A and B are shown apart, each in its own frame.
Chain A
């Protein structure tokens, strides 16, 4: 099909592609995202393809010309979210989701479910003896509302035709032909769309401010520098449904009068970069990007810039500095990015998930969008649910969902049935929420009130075996490494805080350390230039607030209640259980264990490096760890 030169071309194409799609009587979707690819999903796809050819099953791989008659659509899809259960294969329209698929399962899938009409039962989700035939019934999916991620896992991630067939670029059509830039900004404002990157700033206001500028050159930047460790929501959208995000960016261009867009992607996401490149080429081919989009006077281009490994580049002014080819260091504000952003021009900067929400709002209207979520935070939020939880992966829930629903219903509870301790939310700038907040409906404002932040959506579940002081040290270590060094409070302050935390976990904490930490945080947050410094101490403050007793145990009693901190462990031999076999003394790498054969052995605490090698060697469970 050729370049669309008018609105009618796009409408006609949508009809054609949708008709093609309806001819795929069955769809086999193999997840082809980073997680499942690591599990071998691409080989599974190839095997299914080869087997179909062998058995003479008529398969189609793309929509468009040459798709005659009925066929089975075999596709590489975006992320289903249930990454821990990957590689995943979904069969539509039945809705079966096969988990942990192996190469050797392919034949059975073909015979039973593709040629036949039954699910391969042993590959379905099972819990407490119950088999869940369809994906929608699985507890992990049941409570979810998939708005932004509705295509992920259900369509071909590399096909613009399928995106168009599923009402893709319809919002662009509306924005170009039926709405004025003012209308678009108003619609986004009325929908109450708040930036999903962390701050929660109203996107409509940002757009409005850029639109008002008289400058002729303006930019739209999509922040795909998802740096929070433990978060991968944006990656899944870039990999699984890139056109939705591109469409959002183009609409931002129309609304604000910008002609050029940039996507800043982390270098750690090579597949996302590949999929975005493909998507941009496809959109250019059809004239949905480039000069005179759909025959109008509006032109818009999108370029991809890859990050080079600097967390601070998630901050607006650092990100633009990086695109300009400089060190990614934040600058003093004002002027803000909306006034002087990239190349000192007015710039709209939103993250991936925010842009992906835009076509939805234009399509369903602001009023409908507001019906989802809470009054101050409409819509859904994608979280990456990870850590010590049974079902990990990506989830999308309406704002206002409680932590209990997320952790215990969707996530299935704490892994290995250990006790729940806390949820770390908001990454290195965030804090932890303990069990007293399990029933708190979470949105931007409610989380802030209790001392954490929404952040980009990383939700890490921590169980009873997690040491909260060590968690605080972990985040401080991260922030300290990522501090760009421009302003003294952050550069020196984070180092000072890290030194203290390291001292505490190694058993050398001083009684005044806890107060010094709080004091330092107070100064750093008040005097740092950018968000990285301002929030650097948040995980520390939050853990001290809720787990002060753990700090006290480390500092005063020199004990780690969770038994995680190596230096605070003590390993000893229970003389009543020891048979004196001497195995432990042979395996000890530092010669800390001695004794006479057939008599109880002893460990020299001054030599012991707490490697625990002896514990796993002892057949009589005589070696204890405290």
Chain B
């Protein structure tokens, strides 16, 4: 593993006092850093905390929020809680998936720009239906509105790519 990565992980472990019981918090921090849980990182943590990789994987795969695969730059979560569902959240999900050529199994676009997931409730039920883009809640969504958002983000990303060039 690269030195830098090791240092980051050490910092995370230190902030949790190398406590086994802090495993979930540690993995949350790792995921925050890398947007997913890289295998190398999990193996490193297992060694350092003296717990088996099997146990780490058992925890990592149990919780919905952990991802073993990299996520896109923009993580869009469509709320499908009861309030959003009865105010027609599924057409919004379909519009997103259709626009980005994604499906229930394929959640991230090939250019790693977007990840589209569902979430069971964002707790913004009074504004249903809602989606969150990188944790920012957007209220009273419609399929048209999300399409506009996608176009805005895509244009922005193209501009950024040009500047980098």
Contact = CB atoms under 8 A, between A and B. Distances in A.
A460 interface: yes
B125 A328 contact: no
Given A387-B82, A460-B82, A393 B126 contact: yes
Contacts of B63: 307-310, 328
Residue picked from B20, B24, B80, B125, most chain A C-beta under 10 Å: B125
B65 A267 contact: yes
Interface in A299-336: 305-311, 322-329
A308 B64 contact: yes
A232 B20 CA distance: 31
Interface in A67-102: 82-84, 86
Given A37-B137, A270-B135, A305-B25, A394 B126 contact: yes
B121 A229 contact: yes
B137 A83 contact: no
A597 B65 CA distance: 54
Interface residues of B, number: 39
A311 B86 contact: no
Given A268-B122, A309-B65, A38 B130 contact: yes
Contact of B123 (A34, A307, A474): A34
Given A84-B127, A394-B126, A229 B86 contact: no
Nearest to B64: A309
A460 B81 CA distance: 10
Nearest to A312: B62
B64 A310 contact: yes
B35 to A, nearest CB: 15
B120 A311 contact: yes
B87 interface: yes
A306 B127 contact: no
A424 interface: yes
A478 B120 CA distance: 8
A235 interface: yes
Interface in A363-399: 384, 386-388, 392-394
A235 B124 CA distance: 9
Residue picked from B28, B83, B127, most chain A C-beta under 10 Å: B83
A229 B127 contact: no
A113 interface: no
A287 interface: no
B153 interface: no
Residue picked from B19, B21, B121, B139, most chain A C-beta under 10 Å: B121
Given A227-B121, A309-B65, A392-B83, A324 B126 contact: no
B119 interface: yes
A39 interface: yes
Interface in B17-54: 19-25, 27-28
Residue picked from A83, A386, A387, most chain B C-beta under 10 Å: A386
Interface in B114-141: 119-128, 130, 135-139
A477 B135 CA distance: 24
A83 B82 contact: no
A327 to B, nearest CB: 4
Contacts of B125: 83, 230-232, 384, 386, 392, 458
Contacts of B74: none
Contacts of A460: 82-83, 86
A328 B63 CA distance: 8
Contacts of B23: 325-326
A471 B83 CA distance: 11
Interface string B83-102: 10111000000000000000
B14 interface: no
A306 B82 contact: no
Contacts of A458: 82, 125
Contacts of A427: 82
B64 A38 contact: no
A484 B66 CA distance: 15
A39 B82 contact: no
Given A84-B127, A235-B123, A386-B126, A424 B82 contact: yes
Contact of A83 (B66, B86, B124): B124
B59 interface: yes
A475 B120 CA distance: 11
A408 interface: no
Interface in A213-234: 226-232
B22 A83 contact: no
A228 B65 CA distance: 17
B148 interface: no
A387 B62 contact: no
Contacts of B4: none
A38 B66 contact: no
A105 B53 CA distance: 57
A226 B125 CA distance: 13
B121 A325 contact: no
A458 B128 CA distance: 14
B137 to A, nearest CB: 4
B56 to A, nearest CB: 10
A305 B23 CA distance: 11
A269 B65 CA distance: 13
B59 A327 contact: yes
Nearest to A235: B123
A144 interface: no
Contacts of B139: 35, 38-39
A82 B126 CA distance: 8
Contacts of A393: 126
Contact of A35 (B66, B86, B127): B127
Contacts of A310: 62-64
A462 interface: yes
A22 B82 CA distance: 43
A406 to B, nearest CB: 15
Interface in A177-196: none
Nearest to A232: B123
Given A229-B82, A325-B24, A460-B82, A86 B121 contact: no
29 contacts: A34-B123, A35-B124, A83-B124, A83-B126, A84-B127, A229-B80, A230-B125, A231-B121, A232-B125, A266-B123, A305-B24, A307-B63, A308-B27, A308-B28, A308-B64, A309-B63, A310-B62, A310-B64, A324-B21, A384-B125, A384-B126, A386-B125, A392-B125, A392-B126, A393-B126, A427-B82, A460-B86, A462-B86, A474-B82
9 A-B pairs with the lowest CB-CB distances in the bound complex, closest first: A83-B126, A309-B64, A229-B81, A230-B82, A308-B63, A386-B83, A232-B123, A325-B23, A309-B65
Interface of A: 34-35, 37-39, 82-84, 86, 226-232, 235, 266-270, 305-311, 322-329, 384, 386-388, 392-394, 424, 427, 458, 460, 462, 466, 471, 474-475, 478, 481-482, 484
Given A231-B125, A232-B126, A458-B82, 9 more contacts: A35-B139, A39-B127, A83-B124, A227-B121, A229-B121, A268-B122, A269-B123, A306-B24, A394-B126
